[in-house]
Amino acid sequence: MIELLAQTCLNAVYAASYISLVAVGLVLIFGVMGVINFAHGELFMAGAYAVVTLYADLHLPFLVAVAVGLVFVGCLGLLMERALFRPLRDNPLGGLVASIGFLMILQALAVLGYGVRMEHIPPATQEVIVFSDKVRLPLARLYVIIASVVLLAALWYFLKRTRFGWALRASAQDPEAAELQGISINQTARIAMFIGAGLAGIAGALTAPLVSVNPHMGHSVIVTAFIVIIVGGVGSLEGAVVASVVYAVVHTFVTTFYDGVIADIVGLSLMLVVLILKPTGLFGSADRA
């Protein structure tokens, strides 16, 4: 039983890691730009396909493929900001609809470029850390956990300790006041989109050898991310991280000790309970809700 609990905890830590990368990116984009980016799951998918192309097809080192995936998807974020969200800045609903359109474009491009079949990606590594006979942590999963901790810590430092980070937070809190202080809204939007998209991209790239990569893989990711940001509080980065951990722990334990279908029901119930008791989410504020 102790081994089962320990293995389940390791599974939960991994799940929390990649969910938080995706959810924090989604929250950052919403916080700064006020846009709900429905294409965020497809940015995750784009990161995975970057690894398919560079690592599986062109045989570049895995970590190089992941780094390029981050930059590539970050640039997709810049493209979205310039082509979709900036022209629709005063129209949040328009931005949402545009992101749905972009989602379809990315899916169609993936289908055209790679077909509908599941992509085969060789494992980044088959090494496993063996704690005991039934408690094991594959190194590929450890990479995701480490990357998540490092990137989220770096993001925290960037937002709290750097000039650009202050500008980003100021834009998120009050865009008009920030602009009056000389902060470029366009520049903060670009930074937010690059980071937000890049986080989704690296999550997709790192997990690509661990999941089934296909053009529709973003769907379940975005659903989970929405649940997480609603629980954490829309617009709250801390909330997204905490909610990712809570959701991952609850979902993983319920899946292990009951079943996956009940786990989904419990996950959604968690969101409903939070919405009823604290409609702004665990860390959300009323003005963003």
Residues near another protein, by CB under 8 A: 4, 7-8, 11, 14-15, 111, 116-118, 120, 122-123, 126, 128, 130, 133-134, 136, 138, 141, 209-212, 214-217, 219-221, 223, 251-253, 255-257, 259-261, 263-264
Residue identified by tokens 């809700």 is: 289
Cβ proximity to another protein: between 11 and 37 the closer is 11
Cβ proximity to another protein: between 137 and 282 the closer is 137
Its sign, for the CA torsion 211, 214, 215, 219, is: negative
Cβ proximity to another protein: between 159 and 243 the closer is 243
Give the shortest CB-258-to-another protein separation in angstroms.
9
Cβ proximity to another protein: between 150 and 268 the closer is 268
Query: Using CA atoms, how far apart are residues 240 and 254, in angstroms rounded to an integer?
Result: 21
Residue identified by tokens 């704690």 is: 131
The answer to whether the CB of 127 falls within 8 A of the CB of 138 is: yes
Please give the structure tokens belonging to residue 286: 């009323």
Cβ proximity to another protein: between 111 and 275 the closer is 111
Query: Using CA atoms, how far apart are residues 30 and 187, in angstroms rounded to an integer?
Result: 15
- The helix or strand, by DSSP H or E, that contains position 128, with its residue range, turns out to be strand 128-132
Query: Using CA atoms, how far apart are residues 205 and 26, in angstroms rounded to an integer?
Result: 17
Query: Using CA atoms, how far apart are residues 77 and 190, in angstroms rounded to an integer?
Result: 8
Query: Using CA atoms, how far apart are residues 279 and 289, in angstroms rounded to an integer?
Result: 8
Query: Using CA atoms, how far apart are residues 37 and 35, in angstroms rounded to an integer?
Result: 6
Give the shortest CB-123-to-another protein separation in angstroms.
5
Give the shortest CB-93-to-another protein separation in angstroms.
25
Cβ proximity to another protein: between 40 and 251 the closer is 251
Give the shortest CB-114-to-another protein separation in angstroms.
12
Query: Using CA atoms, how far apart are residues 191 and 203, in angstroms rounded to an integer?
Result: 18
Give the shortest CB-29-to-another protein separation in angstroms.
22
Give the shortest CB-244-to-another protein separation in angstroms.
13
Give the shortest CB-215-to-another protein separation in angstroms.
8
Letter string b/e over residues 112-122, b meaning 16 or more CB atoms within 10 A of that residue's CB: eebeeeebebe
Letter string b/e over residues 71-101, b meaning 16 or more CB atoms within 10 A of that residue's CB: ebbbebbbebbeebbbebbeeeeebeebbee
Cβ proximity to another protein: between 178 and 213 the closer is 213
Give the shortest CB-199-to-another protein separation in angstroms.
17
Cβ proximity to another protein: between 38 and 283 the closer is 38
